[in-house]
Structure 1
Amino acid sequence: MQDTVAVALITSLSTLAAAALTGLVGALSTRRQLAHQLAVARQESVERRATRRDELRRDAYVGFLSACDQAYRQLDRRWLDAGGSEPVSGYDEAYAAMRAVDEAYNLVLLEGPAEVEAASRAVLTSIGAERVDQRRLRDEPDEATGPLRDRHRERWLAAIELRTNHRLSFLDAVRPALNNA
């Protein structure tokens, strides 16, 4: 009978040891799987945030370029305007377009990075300077008539060149910000 008890005891101990070993292996395996799933979830979250940031940046940059295009169109109209009808003092379509550029610039400031901020500031400053230059040229006493573009051709060409250079600088700053972000 003691042999039977000994066999039963050995059998139950080996069964318990096997169950404990199986449980331990299962727990370690589950822990490893959960750690991997957590790492994958974190990586996906980081990628989603990066994608969202890229979308916000792209939207801000496109909005800024669109506002700049509208301002350039208004400035072009002023270059081609032959005069005669004075806009309301302190507020005209070019000013309204410039304010839209200011608003778009604020979004670019929020989205960054610093290189894009600096390039957008140069564009904004250039638009403002061209608008002020146009108003000054328009208000000068001048015997000549016709569009500002014809009366001040060199200034007009210089303004167009500055626009192009600032726009290209902005795009050169934006591309790496979107591609490397």
Structure 2
Amino acid sequence: MQDTVAVALITSLSTLAAAALTGLVGALSTRRQLAHQLTVARQDSVERRATRRDELRRNAYVGFLGACDQAYRQLDRRWLEAGGGDPVPGYDDAYAAMRAVDEAYNLVLLEGPEDVASAARSVLTSLTTEYADQRRFGDGLGDAAVSLRDRHRERWLAAIEVRTSRRISFVDAVRPVLDRDG
């Protein structure tokens, strides 16, 4: 009878050991799967944040360029309008366009990075300088029938050159920021 009890005890212990081993293997496997799922979820979250940041940056940069285009159009109108010391129609439009560039610039500052913000600051500075030049030239005495462009041709050409180079510098700073794969 002792042999039977011993066999039963050994069988019970081996069954318990097998069950414990199976439970341990299952727990380790589940732990590994959960760790993998957590890693995948974190990576997905990081990618979503990066995609969202890229979208916000792209929108800020495109908005800034669009505001600059509108300001350029208003400045071009002022260059082409004839007038002397009297207020020129469209002056308020030019001022409003400059304020829109300021607002778009604030978004670029928030979204960064610093090299893009610096390039945007250069664009804004050139626009502000051109706008101030137009006001100064428009307030000066001169033939009211002759446009600012014709009265100040060298300054107009210089302003167009500065516009172009600053805009290109801004776009060159933006491209690597938006091109994560490149």
TM-score (norm 2): 0.94
CA contact (8 A) 1:57 1:111 kept: yes
- Per mean C-alpha deviation after superposition, the further-off stretch among 151-160 and 110-119 is 151-160
Deviation track 1:8-47 (CA, whole Å, cap 9, x = no partner) reads 1111100000000000011111101110110010010000
Within-5 A mapping of 1:60-71? 60-71=60-71
Cα displacement (A) at 1:148: 1.1
Asked if residue 29 in structure 1 is aligned to residue 42 in structure 2, the reply is no
**Cα distance, 1:74 vs. partner?**
0.1
Does residue 10 (structure 1) correspond to residue 10 (structure 2)? The answer is: yes
Length, aligned pairs only: 179
Divergent runs of 4+, >2 A: none
Alignment check: 8 A CA contact 1:119 1:173 kept: yes
**Aligned partners of 2:114 and 2:87: how far apart in 1?**
39
Q: Is the 8 A contact 2:137 2:148 kept in 1?
A: yes
Segments of structure 2 that go 5 or more residues without pairing to the other structure are none
Residue 93 (structure 2) pairs with residue 114 (structure 1):
no
Output the aligned Cα RMSD: 1.6
Using the aligned pairs only, state the percent identity.
78
Assess if the C-alpha contact under 8 Å between 2:83 and 2:144 holds in 1: no
Q: CA deviation at 1:144?
A: 6.5
For 1:118 and 1:44, how far apart are their aligned partners in 2? 32
Q: CA deviation at 1:145?
A: 2.9
Under a length normalisation based on structure 1, what TM-score does the superposition of the two structures give?
A: 0.94
CA contact (8 A) 2:83 2:143 kept: no
Q: In structure 2, what is the equivalent of residue 40 of structure 1?
A: 40
In structure 2, the partner of 1:98 is: 98
Answer whether contact 1:79 1:148 (CA < 8 A) is retained: yes
Contact 2:82-2:144 within 8 A present in 1 as well: no
